[in-house]
Amino acid sequence: MKIGSIIENQKIEKRIAVTPEIVKKYISLGFEVCLSENYGSHLGIKDEIYSELGVKIGKDDSQILNSSDIIIQLGMLSDDKITYIKKDQTLIGVFDTYNNKEKLENLARKNINLFSLELLPRITRAQSMDILSSQANLAGYKAVIESFSNFEKAIPMMMTAAGTVPAAKVLVVGAGVAGLQAIATAKRMGAIVFATDVRMASKEQVESLGGKFLTVDGSENLETEGGYAKEASDDFKKKQEELLSETLKKIDIVICTALIPGKKAPLIIKEKMIENMQSGSVIYDLAAIQGGNAAYTEVDKIIEKNGVKIMGESNILNKLPVSASNLYAKNVFNFISNLYDKENKKLNINLEDEIIEKTFIK
């Protein structure tokens, strides 16, 4: 069987789905691998490195797409590329099923096997394939680094003969994978860290990392069976707003990570709250691409309101493409290993397997 992958649109995606380390594993399973010319050159991976491992380098993307049994990408292919995919081929990636619903339904009707990896169930057996966790970990780390670089004061407490520099106070909104990594990173760099989340189960995790969990009076546990946050009630939102309004007056840096799968990001940091923040504070909004957790957030811009910088990027992982690609490629390999019948050398789309059933787009 042949696995193929072509270069993503570099303006929006610098990650790659097949790394040299993973090529060896595919070939050891008996796959043939074909990649487009200069596939990893922007990450310092020359075509020669792939060729020496047994990869076929193709100059024509249409031929790679048309001849591959399994196509691995990061995001959805452009309309002109999709035309080259035919019946019974398998397409694997992160396809933003809510925004690309119509396009995916059209592909499924053509009997193309589609697997969107952001739909993986949060179960133990799927952890090695969990692209949301691996990528969110890096995003949480990088959000802290980016916000600290735009904050014009020192982060840790420093005691000098000339006086003491106080530690920066950081608030992390949303204590999922990205939020917990943000807490850990900010804490390691010497900040005083606070966190809030609608899931009460997060309290113990936040405190184990040295953060202080802000508890809303009368909190209800707003967690789905799959471990994701669900939408809060109006009463909860009002109480959370009151707590945040007071807290933000003394916070230097806010990292926003709150997302509800398939919905617009909840607006948590309102205009009035930002007005009451200290001048020189920074808000980094990881939810920017889905509307943002903070008022005034704009994608790929730094907006300044009352001396507060509000930052949001369309794809923060483009700033860590090597690390992000290494993890993504391993996730995808583990997913394909679970999908592949090694004995009969073919894909086994067994819908009784929860991992396959949840990610398969019918």
Q: Given a cut of 90, is residue 200 above it in pLDDT? A: no
264 band by pLDDT with thresholds 50, 70 and 90: confident
Q: What is the mean pLDDT of residues 41-68?
A: 96
Annotated catalytic residue 84: no
Regarding whether 307 and 244 lie in a shared domain, the answer is yes
Within-domain flag for 127: no
The pLDDT assigned to 101 comes to: 83
Within-domain flag for 124: no
Regarding whether 335 and 308 lie in a shared domain, the answer is no
Annotated catalytic residue 127: yes
Question: What pLDDT digit, counting tens, does each position of 91-143 carry?
Answer: 999 988 777 888 888 888 889 999 999 899 989 999 999 998 999 999 999 99
Regarding whether 160 and 299 lie in a shared domain, the answer is yes
Regarding whether 98 and 67 lie in a shared domain, the answer is yes
Regarding whether 286 and 199 lie in a shared domain, the answer is yes
Catalytic residue, chosen from 61, 63, 69, 122, is 122
Within-domain flag for 40: yes
Cα–Cα distance, 54 to 32 (Å, whole number): 8
Predicted TM-score (pTM) of the model is: 0.89
Catalytic residue, chosen from 41, 51, 78, 127, is 127
Within-domain flag for 8: yes
Within-domain flag for 131: no
The pLDDT assigned to 228 comes to: 54
Catalytic residue, chosen from 228, 245, 296, 353, is 228
Within-domain flag for 287: yes
Cα–Cα distance, 72 to 90 (Å, whole number): 8
Regarding whether 267 and 178 lie in a shared domain, the answer is yes
Annotated catalytic residue 80: no
Regarding whether 329 and 293 lie in a shared domain, the answer is no
By mean pLDDT, which of 35-49, 85-99, 167-181 is the weakest?
Answer: 85-99
The pLDDT assigned to 244 comes to: 93
Cα–Cα distance, 43 to 121 (Å, whole number): 31
Catalytic residue, chosen from 5, 36, 116, 133, is 133
- Tell me which of 318, 333, 349 is where a domain ends: 318
Strands 2-5 and 360-361: unpaired
Regarding whether 266 and 148 lie in a shared domain, the answer is yes
Backbone angles phi, psi at 240, to 5 degrees: -65, -40
Regarding whether 18 and 93 lie in a shared domain, the answer is yes
CATH code of residue 344: 3.40.50.720
- Per residue, the 3-state secondary structure of 311-359, as one string, reads EECCCHHHHCHHHHHHHHHHHHHHHHHHHEECCCCEECCCCCCHHHHHH
Other beta carbons within 10 angstroms of residue 89's beta carbon come to 21
Q: Which domain holds residue 94?
A: 2-119+321-361
Annotated catalytic residue 228: yes
Catalytic residue, chosen from 26, 130, 197, 328, is 130
Cα–Cα distance, 48 to 54 (Å, whole number): 10
Within-domain flag for 223: yes
Question: What pLDDT digit, counting tens, does each position of 308-345 carry?
Answer: 999 999 999 999 999 999 999 999 999 999 999 988 88
Contacts for 28 with CB less than 8 Å, ≥ 6 apart? none
Q: Minimal CA–CA distance to 5: which of 70, 59, 51?
A: 70
Regarding whether 298 and 351 lie in a shared domain, the answer is no
Annotated catalytic residue 133: yes
Domain count, the chain: 2
Average pLDDT, the chain: 92
Q: What is the mean pLDDT of residues 206-218?
A: 88
Please spell the DSSP secondary structure of 13-73, one letter per residue: ----S--HHHHHHHHHTT-EEEEETTTTGGGT--HHHHHHTTPEEES-HHHHHHH-SEEE-
**Percent with pLDDT over 90 in the chain:** 79
Regarding whether 175 and 312 lie in a shared domain, the answer is yes
Q: Given a cut of 60, is residue 186 above it in pLDDT? A: yes
Within-domain flag for 79: yes
Characterise 315 by phi-psi region: left (phi > 0), alpha (psi -120 to 50), beta (else).
Answer: beta
Regarding whether 167 and 88 lie in a shared domain, the answer is no
